[in-house]
Amino acid sequence: MLIRPRRNRRSESIRSMVQETRLDVSQLVYPLFLVDGKGIKNEVSSLPGNYRLSMDEALRTVEECLKLNLGNFILFPSIAEELKDKRATYSWNDENFYLKVAGSIKREFPDTTLISDVAMDPYSSDGHDGYVIEGKIDNDKTLPILANMAVAQAQAGFDILGPSDMMDGRVRAIREALDDAGYSDTGIMSYTAKYASAFYGPFRDALDSAPKAGDKKTYQMNPANKREALIEADLDAAEGADFLMVKPALNYLDVIHLLREHSQLPIAAYHVSGECAMLIAACQKGWLNYEQAMPEVLLSIKRAGADVIITYFARDYAALVKR
């Protein structure tokens, strides 16, 4: 035998020398669920280890993450039912605690990178990402709402905005509104290929944001489609997106790979709540080993071509690396 691939697997140091993919904590983003109030740390039952946090608890969590070199966060608001309305107006209200929490995190910890969520669903009495008129999502009437929300978030101090709504033309509407308001440095991480997935369940539990009627299939993509992701990628790039995102991640590694090959923009992958919950559940049952399986899962998303991974495991991974 002239060729023996096992020679390069002989020792830890040789294996490390030829390792093709590495995952650095700086490439991870940790999602935080926020609620109004004080002293609240309320566990999401379908996503153990993740909590709805009031401002004081969120600041404490951020501080603990920074000690692990984890400084990138994506924030989501859990809004009281009585503040929701058809046009999601609370999303750009000065009193919105979500905007205040972002501002105070940036003031206390200026080195963090904060990513927002731009979509109507947490604020919408219909539980949809777009404006519902007579039972239908009105794409074009949703755009100015998203633009208002985006400007308020930029003003609050978010570094990067994350439109997760899948309306047509929203990246451009948001980019233009930001530029007009003087926020030309605020970035856009567009949810480019966001699928109508069954894996968002624990997230909707956390925010109580499930649609009141119907589903999201008229705006989120059909899980069967891959070429369509290229249409979305070209549009988002042309409309001024700074990052393209694929969501979910694990069940869509082929789409991550495709966008990585197709675009020069950084590719983000959202390892969503249901994908994380599955692994947590199997580990709690003793069927899988968390400290071995979790890094393998994250590395596989990286290997598929993601530059940035949004994952509920970010903090545990950072703690593992630190040890």
Nearer to ligand PBG, 109 or 214 (CB): 214
Q: Minimum distance from CB of 76 to ligand PBG (Å)?
A: 7
Rank residues 170 and 175 by Cβ distance to ligand PBG and give the closer one. 170
* Residue of 70, 75, 119, 145 that binds ligand PBG (CB under 6 A): 119
- Binders of ligand PBG among residues 1 to 60 (CB under 6 A) are none
Q: Rounded CA gap, 84 and 97, in Å?
A: 14
Q: What size, in residues, is the chain?
A: 323
Q: How far is the CB of 108 from ligand PBG (least distance, A)?
A: 25
Binding residue count for ligand PBG, defined by CB under 6 A:
11
Please, where are the H alpha helices in the chain?
A: 12-17, 55-67, 97-108, 139-156, 170-180, 201-207, 227-238, 253-262, 273-284, 290-304, 314-322
> Should residue 174 be labelled a site residue for ligand PBG when binding is judged by CB under 6 A?
no
Q: CB–CB of 206/47 below 8 Å?
A: yes
Q: What's the N-to-C CA distance of the chain in angstroms?
A: 40
Residue 54 Cβ, how far from ligand PBG at the closest point, in Å?
Answer: 20
Q: Choose which of 36, 129, 239, 316 interacts with ligand PBG (CB under 6 A).
A: 129
Asked whether the beta carbons of 267 and 233 are under 8 A apart, the reply is no
Contacts of 239 (CB under 8 A, 6+ apart): 169, 171, 172, 175, 190
User: Measuring CA to CA, which residue among 203, 33, 32 is closest to residue 127?
Assistant: 203
Q: In the range 257-296, which residues lie near ligand PBG by CB under 6 A? A: 272-273
DSSP assignment of 67-84 equals HTT--EEEEEEE--GGG-
Part of the chain binding ligand PBG (CB under 6 A), chosen from 115-123, 141-149, 290-298, 314-322? 115-123
One character per residue 201-230, x = contact with ligand PBG (rule: CB under 6 A): --xx--------------------------
Q: Which is nearer to ligand PBG, 3 or 224 (CB)?
A: 224
Burial letters 258-289, b for 16+ CB under 10 A, else e: bbbebbebbbbbbbbbbbbbebbeebeeeebe
Q: What angle do CA 113, 27, 234 make, to 5 degrees?
A: 90
Considering the complex, what minimum distance in angstroms separates the CB of residue 18 from ligand PBG? Answer: 34
Selected binder of ligand PBG within 36, 57, 121, 316 (CB under 6 A): 121
Preceding omega of 248 cis (within 30 degrees of 0) = yes
Give me the catalytic one of 247, 285, 302, 322: 247
Identify which of residues 117 and 239 has a Cβ nearer to ligand PBG in the complex: 117
Based on the residue annotation, tell me whether 194 is a catalytic residue of this protein: yes
The DSSP code sequence of 246-261 is: EESSGGGHHHHHHHHH
What's the min distance (Å) between Cβ of 208 and ligand PBG? 12
Q: Return the range that interacts with ligand PBG (CB under 6 A); candidates 84-92, 99-107, 198-206, 253-261.
A: 198-206
Whole-angstrom Cα distance, residue 226 to residue 229?
5
User: From the candidates 41, 67, 106, 194, which is the catalytic residue?
Assistant: 194
Binding site residues, ligand PBG, CB under 6 A: 117, 119, 121, 129, 164-165, 200, 203-204, 272-273
Catalytic residues: 194, 247
